[in-house]
């Protein structure tokens, strides 16, 4: 009888743990490939870093629950989707309306967005060249960034090679 009760307790606890996992927003690990999207509450995560599309349509990078970068789109819409497009453009949509974009649209290819170990969020092109970044890197990753007029940045030249060396 005692073993039946402990088995029953284990099953109940396991079921409760599984239900709590199912109730959390979907996470796509640390990468979003071309053609993939994240809905409201979806995020990329790596260690203490979280890159999340929030319910208020703001795209925010958190470092241990402290915001370090944001798209500044909070309150502009509802039910937003973050899309890594096949043309290399990272876009926040509300329905068919564009709320924000990285303005990195090019020819169709295998682009991807990745949350890196240095806290930087970067879009890479077909040749693994960085074409956009949040510019939030920390630590020993000496990556120069080029600011853009939309509040974002991209690595260039030798810095792109450094990114490839650090994150093959």
Q: How far is CA 68 from the centre of its chain?
A: 13
pLDDT, tens digit (0-9, with 9 covering 90-100), for 12-63? 444 433 333 333 344 449 999 999 999 999 999 999 999 999 999 999 999 9
pTM over 0.75: no
Q: At 3, is the pLDDT very low, low, confident or very high (cuts 50, 70, 90)?
A: low
Our CA angle for 164, 128, 92, nearest 5°, is 115
Kind and range of the H or E run holding 43: strand 43-46
At the top level of CATH, the class of 31-165 is: mainly beta
């Amino acid at each position: 009888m005692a073993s039946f009760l402990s088995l029953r307790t284990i099953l109940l606890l396991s079921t409760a743990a599984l239900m709590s996992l199912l109730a959390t927003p979907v996470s796509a690990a640390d990468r979003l490939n071309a053609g993939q999207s994240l809905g409201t509450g979806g995020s990329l995560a790596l260690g203490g870093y979280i890159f999340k599309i929030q319910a208020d349509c703001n795209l925010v990078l958190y470092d241990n629950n402290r915001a370090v970068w944001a798209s500044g789109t909070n309150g502009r819409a509802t039910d937003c989707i973050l899309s890594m497009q096949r043309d290399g453009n990272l876009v926040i949509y509300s329905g068919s309306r564009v709320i924000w974009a990285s303005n990195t649209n090019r020819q169709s290819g295998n682009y991807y967005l990745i949350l890196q170990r240095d806290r930087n969020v970067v879009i890479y092109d077909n040749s693994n060249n960085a074409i956009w970044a949040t510019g939030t890197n920390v630590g020993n990753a000496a990556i120069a960034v080029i600011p853009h007029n939309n509040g974002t940045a991209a690595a260039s030249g030798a810095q792109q090679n450094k990114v490839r060396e650090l994150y093959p």
